[in-house]
Chain A
Amino acid sequence: MSDRLFGCALRLLAGCYAGLVALPLLALLLHATPATLAAALRSPVVWQAVGLSLLTATAATLLVVAGALPLAWLLTRQVTRWRGLLTTLLELPAALPPAVAGLGLLLAFGRYQLLGPWLTRCGLPPVALTPAAVVLAQMLVAGPLFLRAARAALEAVPPRVLQASAVLGAGEATTFRRIVLPLARPGLLGGALVTWARALGELGATLLFAGNLPGWTQTMPSAIFVTWQVDRTAAVSLSVLLLLLSAGALLLARRCAGEVL
């Protein structure tokens, strides 16, 4: 009897939660008809936003991988007392409200803030309110997802394999390239895809740090944010596109990790 009750409670709670997740997605899909989607796809503003989003999210993901993969490896290899604190600090931007991340970026890279004057002296153009700012915002907010995935993937490489490689005379560089990377590849790829999907959806930090200009810094989320009050059809069409792209990336990520679809 108590087991049956437990089973019922499990199913009820799980059903409620799944419904909560599924309903908004369903509502968006129901709101968009093929005709409105096609109309949205013919609008140049939508294409500009889609193009800019794909470009910036890909750039942000590649740059995150370039920096966070070495970082994850160092954190895995070196056991220091500060590792826990350091990891928390590095993962913090993912937990912060994106607007806070955007404000931090403005105060760090702004023309008259921390680094800005120095960048100007080096002859560099301003960072804020440019596509570069879009990429930086996405990196800051989405990067922790890759760092976490990369650490898990690298830590799963058995130390015995590394020792065997060293015994056989391979240096650290060779071991990393020939042993660690191939073994960690599924986890790293999966992490990169999740990071890409998060970068694609970034809004708060982008609005604050990069602004919003069609064809320059307006990503899909910012286009949705600015147009939804006046042109709900366009906003819903863009949302559905974003939904499909993210779903594709997440499915692919599961596939990379070797999970059943």
Chain B
Amino acid sequence: MTGRRLVVTGSLAVLAGCARPELPAPAAVAPVTLQVFAAASLREVVPALSAAYSQAEPGVTLLANYAGSQDLVAQVQAGASADVFLSANRDHPQKLADAGLVAPPVVFALNQVAIAATPRNQRVRSYRDLLQPGTRLVICAEEVPAGKYAGQWLAKLPSAEAATLRERVVSAEASVDGVLHKVRLGEADAGLAYRTDVRRGGLRDVPLPPGTAISASYAASTVTAAPHAAEAAAFLTWLRGPAAGQVLRDAGFELPAP
């Protein structure tokens, strides 16, 4: 699609060039579009980051591609054109870094595993309600970072309760988006997602049992074959600075210790 658009714009540019040979040459600093591959749970914060960054660097626009981090890994492996990879964990970009496909990942934000309850019914008001027969729970598949964190959370619970919760699971989704979608519609009574997801519209936050908090680390790396390597590196430096930190905190993320 982008390719076709490029071809079309390209042809139009050529046509325009033919019609108006006196057209001035493009400005010295051409606007750059950075391709950002971002974990699905960053869907809400990346536009805010993008807006803040366009004030810091007016010549650079962010173009985001959201998916489950494991999908993005596969896309980078397949040679997709990307400048920056923002993963919902550290393992995935580390795997790519070991293969020389991205630079070593740097943690730029932290999140927490959270229980999101549907606004459509009041079935799940506390953690105990999840254990009730008939409760419909959705999580992420274990291939997805959010699914891995969910597994870590279950492992912190008494084993009988963890087994009961596993029986309550009606779907293991391929991304956090899938979990949130099903909880919002009320097809599931609750889902395991991130605190930042629960904060945004409509979902109810159900506190986790004490002592079972699971922290999620978001890691950023520049892609080795990035079309705009210098701009990508500059964006990553900005991402760990105070302006980006404020945007991330506003969205409910925590920041790693400097």
Contacts and interface: CB of A to CB of B under 8 A. Distances in A.
Interface of A: 106, 110-113, 126, 128-130, 207, 210-214, 216-217, 225-230
Contacts of A213: 169-172
Given A211-B173, A213-B170, 12 more contacts: A106-B185, A111-B186, A112-B185, A126-B187, A210-B171, A211-B172, A211-B182, A213-B172, A214-B172, A227-B143, A229-B70, A230-B70
B178 to A, nearest CB: 7
B115 to A, nearest CB: 18
B74 A211 contact: no
Contacts of A112: 120, 185-186
Contacts of B182: 128-129, 211
B244 to A, nearest CB: 28
9 contacts: A112-B120, A112-B186, A126-B136, A128-B185, A212-B141, A213-B169, A226-B143, A227-B143, A229-B71
Contacts of A216: 170
B187 A110 contact: yes
Given A110-B185, A129-B136, A207-B178, A217 B73 contact: no
A112 B188 CA distance: 11
B198 interface: no
Nearest to B120: A112
Contacts of B185: 106, 110-113, 128
Interface centre among B169, B170, B187 (most CB of A within 10 A): B187
Contacts, number: 62
Contacts of A126: 136, 187
Contacts of B188: 129
A255 to B, nearest CB: 37
B143 A230 contact: yes
Contacts of B143: 226-227, 229-230
A112 B138 CA distance: 17
Contacts of B120: 111-112
Interface in B61-115: 70-71, 73-74
A227 B136 CA distance: 24
Given A111-B187, A226-B143, A212 B70 contact: no
Interface centre among A106, A128, A217, A228 (most CB of B within 10 A): A128
B130 interface: no
A227 B142 CA distance: 10
Nearest to A109: B187
B124 interface: no
Nearest to B72: A229
A212 B73 CA distance: 21
Contacts of B170: 129-130, 211, 213, 216
B11 to A, nearest CB: 24
B174 interface: yes
A230 B136 CA distance: 27
B91 to A, nearest CB: 11
B172 A207 contact: no
B151 to A, nearest CB: 14
B85 to A, nearest CB: 14
Contacts of B186: 110-112
B175 to A, nearest CB: 10
Contact of B174 (A128, A129, A130, A226): A226
Contacts of B138: 129, 211
Nearest to A222: B174
Nearest to B185: A110
A212 B187 contact: no
Interface string B156-195: 0000000000000111111000100010011110000000
Nearest to B73: A229
A226 B186 CA distance: 23
A226 B74 contact: no
B171 A129 contact: yes
B141 A128 contact: no
Contacts of A106: 185, 187
A228 B143 CA distance: 10
A158 B120 CA distance: 56
Contacts of B141: 212, 226
A168 B204 CA distance: 71
A126 B134 CA distance: 11
B136 A212 contact: no
Interface string B198-213: 0000000000000000
Contacts of B169: 213
B1 to A, nearest CB: 14
B70 A211 contact: no
Contacts of A111: 120, 185-187
A128 B170 CA distance: 10
